[in-house]
Structure 1
Amino acid sequence: MLVALGAAVGAPLRFLLDRAVQRWAGTAFPWGTLVVNVLGSAVLGFLVAWPAGEGLMALAGTGLCGALSTYSTLGYETLRLAEDGARPAAVGNAVLSVAAGLGAAAAGAALAHA
């Protein structure tokens, strides 16, 4: 139940945040997906390093962060950029997403340790 409850918050949050960021950015580059993935990575990094208990990890780690972040959309949008002839943007999206996600997870963990 905790996973489902967290996902019920994370999924609409992902949708709304993605749309808001994309509207603000006004470009074809998938900034919204990048933002939600980086945010999810930071929160999960924090929770793992804290360490959160089993219930909080189910609610916020698996449920919220799992529904907030989206690897499948990252893959789809990167492929779409490449198919549309924006290969440098596609490569940049993949590299930036992985690097920023790892950095955000490390920053979240560092914050938890502080």
Structure 2
Amino acid sequence: MSSDATPTETTDAPSVAPRRHGPPWDVLSVVAAGGALGAVSRYGLSLLWPHPPGSFPGATLLINVVGCLLMGALMCLLTEFVTTHRLVRPFLGVGVLGGFTTLSAHVLDTMHLAAAGRLGLAVTYVSATVFGALLAVLLGALGTRLLLRRAAGTR
């Protein structure tokens, strides 16, 4: 507040949210539940499409790229088009899609390819994952935005 302001005047200072005491159990619970669903889904897909040691880990690449596509779509939807309950984003984004996509399997697959002497394939896999994931997030967000704006314009 400036020195010439009267006590009844307000300032444009942002309000401060009250401090929470203890962990946000509701958020932690929905992230854990969503993470379990995402991880089980990922594991199921990896069982349907296994890869022998030293071969290209296509299932992990597909899982990560599809997860990123869905993340782009979800974040666009939740930040630009709909208002939802505050637990939807942590459940779907952090939980389900975070549990579905997998950096640890990606790194392990890359290590196995390199250890098997398949360095070219390992570099291809890393590149495909990084660029595929980035492109997928972009396409998910742009595609969702385009579809929802077109749908809103046709009403």
Q: Same fold (TM over 0.5)?
A: yes
Using the TM superposition, give the Cα deviation of residue 31 of structure 1 relative to its aligned residue in structure 2, in angstroms.
0.7
User: Which is richer in helix?
Assistant: 1
Question: What residue in structure 2 maps to residue 50 of structure 1?
Answer: 77
Under a length normalisation based on structure 2, what TM-score does the superposition of the two structures give? 0.67
Question: What residue in structure 2 maps to residue 37 of structure 1?
Answer: 64
Give deviations 1:28-70, integer Å, cap 9, x for gaps.
2111111111111011111111125432211110000110001
Question: What residue in structure 2 maps to residue 59 of structure 1?
Answer: 91
Count of matched residue positions in the alignment of Structure 1 and Structure 2: 112
For 1:101 and 1:21, how far apart are their aligned partners in 2?
19
* Contact 1:36-1:68 at 8 Å conserved across structures: yes
Using the TM superposition, give the Cα deviation of residue 21 of structure 1 relative to its aligned residue in structure 2, in angstroms.
2.4
Question: What residue in structure 1 maps to residue 113 of structure 2?
Answer: 81
For 1:38 and 1:6, how far apart are their aligned partners in 2?
19
Uncovered stretches (5+) of structure 2, i.e. residues with no partner: 1-28, 147-155
Under a length normalisation based on structure 1, what TM-score does the superposition of the two structures give? 0.89
CA RMSD of aligned residues (A): 1.7
* Contact 1:37-1:70 at 8 Å conserved across structures: yes
Match of 1:10, as an amino acid?
Answer: G
User: Highest Rg: 1 or 2?
Assistant: 2
Q: Which has the higher contact order (CA 8 A, sep 6+)?
A: 1
For 2:62 and 2:49, how far apart are their aligned partners in 1?
8
For 1:40 and 1:57, how far apart are their aligned partners in 2?
15
Q: In the alignment, does 2:125 pair up with 1:97?
A: no
Using the TM superposition, give the Cα deviation of residue 15 of structure 1 relative to its aligned residue in structure 2, in angstroms.
0.3
Uncovered stretches (5+) of structure 1, i.e. residues with no partner: none
